[in-house]
Amino acid sequence: MKLVAIAGSIGEQSYNRMLLQYIAKHFENLVDIELLNIDDVPVFNEDEDLSDNIKIQKIYQKIYGADGVILATPEHNHTVTAAIKNVIEWLSFKLHPFDGKPVWIVGASYFNQGSSRAQLHLKQILEAPGVNAIVMPGNEFLLRNAKEAFDAEGQLKDAGTVQFLEMVIQKFIKFVKVIDMLDAPDPKSYQDEDLESKGKVNTTIEGVDMHDEHWVEKAAQKVHAVDGSTYVKLDRGILTVDQLNYFLKTMPVELTYADDNNQFIYYNKNQPADKMLAPRNPGQAGDPLADVHPGRAVDRVKQVIHALRTGETDLVSMPVPGNGPDRHVMHYYKAMRDENGRYRGVNEWVTDIMPIIKYYLASTGQKLIKDPAAKPISPITGIDVMAGASANPEPDVTSGASKEGPAGLDVTSGASETLESNPEVDATSGASEV
């Protein structure tokens, strides 16, 4: 789970920032928390729209992409600071990252009140129209006498305070998971799958026409996306953007990513479309899935996406028509889920499995023979890939695959044959084993 945290004080000495730093470090085994800096955010002025300002955009994207937000507010004159109010003004004007976002409010103060009035006021602000955050009710954390609360290493001294803090953050993690699942799209049937990508998810880039041929470049400019030698921290590694591109483009399969809003947002372009197993072109990146499939395939695409989204299956596999003795191209569709189990899109990979089959047969001394009892198998429950097959199926322009499986093939495994041992040949050395 990824959370972001903001301290309402921009002063050099901030006990609210110390509190967030302590939470992020002490509970790093429970949750990943990134502290955001709101210094130098320009003063809000609706007559001078700075929504595309790099500082505002960075905060917006971080909040928009996070699972939840922790706000730490001091109390100034019985209310919140001007700094945090200024940020919220920008993020409720043209940009709305708090909309539907779980928020936990904490606070530290010099005296006994512990920022209680500021927290109450901040809750009212966050629930205002245009902000629409979902603030966790109750479970307030008010750190009083903050000057004496931390030791020299920034650790909270009182064991009871730490214990209470852990209880509340555990509740917030559960709260975030509940809100996340309530927010997930819930199509009642596959016909309700929106291949036009009319909705939005927490990674949707707004303000750029998804049909634009230059969607990638314009969307990257909109969000100030990093590129080149900028480092990206991944789950188990740190790579530059260039290294990520090298890595993905040299994969021995063709990869496609469609997000949970059914928008086609990436493929690993490593050669021209006419040389690909599943032809794609750069201008398709950003398009809704409805635009990158022929009309006759849309119903099948909806069935596959819906089965993946609902967990009916996590993997769909099917061959393309026209496979022969020297080529067997397979398309695999794998559901991607976040750490909460929420569907986050489909990972499609395309590969010719025949070189692997031939190597396996050669290295094990076996051969393929016909299985007269073999019957086509539907790749997912409820989808009859044989139904309505055309004599000359038109390829899917995104995947290059027809949605009708050719007769005689097992559309799950792509095979309609069985292996027969051939001990006469040592396929590794070419020598007989007997």
Dihedral, CA of residue 212, residue 216, residue 220 and residue 226, to nearest 10: 180
Residues 327-379: tens digit of each pLDDT: 999 999 999 998 878 899 999 999 999 999 999 999 999 988 888 888 766 55
Residue with tokens 């993946």, as numbered in its chain: 308
pLDDT of residue 429: 34
Low-confidence stretches of the chain (pLDDT beneath 50): 381-434
Per DSSP, the three-state class of 71 is strand
pLDDT of residue 209: 93
pLDDT of residue 341: 85
pLDDT of residue 107: 87
Residues of the chain with CATH 3.30.450.20: 192-421
Query: Is residue 432 a contact partner of residue 426, using CB atoms and an 8 Å limit?
Result: yes
CA 137 to chain centroid, in Å, comes to 28
Per DSSP, the three-state class of 26 is helix
Backbone phi, psi, residue 8, to 5°? -75, -10
Tell me the DSSP string of 211-263.
T-TTHHHHHHHHTT---TT-EEEETTEEEEHHHHHHHHHT-SSEEEEEETT-B
Type of residue numbered 341: G
Tell me the DSSP string of 139-207.
--EEE-SHHHHB-TTS-B--HHHHHHHHHHHHHHHHHHHHHHHHHS---SSGGG--TT--S--TT--TT
pLDDT of residue 409: 30
> How far apart are alpha carbons 64 and 96 in whole angstroms?
8
Which class does domain 2-183 fall in?
A: alpha beta
pLDDT of residue 379: 55
> How far apart are alpha carbons 67 and 280 in whole angstroms?
32
> Could you tell me how many residues make up the chain?
434
Q: How far is CA 112 from CA 147, 148, 300, in A?
A: 11, 12, 63
Residues of the chain with CATH 3.40.50.360: 2-183
CATH superfamily of 192-421: PAS domain (3.30.450.20)
pLDDT of residue 184: 73
Residue with tokens 């064991």, as numbered in its chain: 159
Confirm whether pTM is higher than 0.75: no
pLDDT of residue 425: 34
